[in-house]
Chains A and B, each alone.
Chain A
Amino acid sequence: NAGVTQTPKFRILKIGQSMTLQCTQDMNHNYMYWYRQDPGMGLKLIYYSVGAGITDKGEVPNGYNVSRSTTEDFPLRLELAAPSQTSVYFCASSPKNTGELFFGEGSRLTVL
């Protein structure tokens, strides 16, 4: 099993551009999450999903959107990129709503 796969691993955006971070898991997990991690900081929850077709905002959702059309995929959309969105983004999944998460390798985004 590949686990949780994120693409791209690195990306540089110009201010105002848009892009989608892809996340796919092959473990048939219902729960999926997007977190961002700024240097020297813990992770902040952006959006989460409890199953296909169901998403909700986390702690820092502004400037982002998500969709969950299948169990496997949970893409994160950045609209009108801003320097404040420079961060490392982690997608995670879980088979239960317990907080025991499996993380992808991360996507490092720089907005210039």
Chain B
Amino acid sequence: QKEVEQNSGPLSVPEGAIASLNCTYSDRVSQSFFWYRQYSGKSPELIMSIYSNGDKEDGRFTAQLNKASQYVSLLIRDSQPSDSATYLCAAANAGGTSYGKLTFGQGTILTVHP
């Protein structure tokens, strides 16, 4: 059984701080990893994808992947109250037979307070 585990939080950080969200996965076949943001009562929205070991930066967001440790993280720099949401980590196998099917973690609730 594939599992993606996240600390459900809530994680509370002050405005302007760095928020660090973590995720571990159990299936070594997983090759592709995603962070989706979900505002309360809304649908998930893709904010980052990462496929290779190391860091990937996009604006204030940095995704980090360590396949040896089966660990994925998302850093949000200069956190804003508008970043307050649930962050879902997801994993997929690589290649054609994965068909883009995702295994999601339960999500981490992030609250950024002014």
Contact A42 B4 (CB under 8 A): yes
A99 within 8 A of B: yes
Which range holds the interface residue count of chain B? 20 to 34
Number of chain A interface residues as a range: 20 to 34
A74 within 8 A of B: no
Q: Interface residues of B: mostly helix, strand, loop or mixed?
A: mixed
CA distance A42 to B46 in the complex (A): 14
- The answer to whether A98 touches B44 (Cβ under 8 A) is no
From residue A94, how far is it (CB to closest CB) to chain B in Å?
A: 5
Give CA–CA (A48, B101) in the complex, Å: 8
Q: Mark A29-60, 1 if CB is under 8 A from B, else 0.
A: 00101010000111111001010000010110
Provide the bound-state CA to CA distance between A59 and B99, in Å. 14
Q: In the complex, how many angstroms separate the beta carbon of B61 from the nearest chain A beta carbon?
A: 15
What residue of chain A has the Cβ atom nearest to residue B49's Cβ?
Answer: A100
In the bound assembly, the distance between CA atoms of A105 and B88 in angstroms comes to 16
| Contacts from B to A (Cβ < 8 Å) | 4, 8, 32, 34, 42-46, 49, 88, 90, 92, 96, 98-107
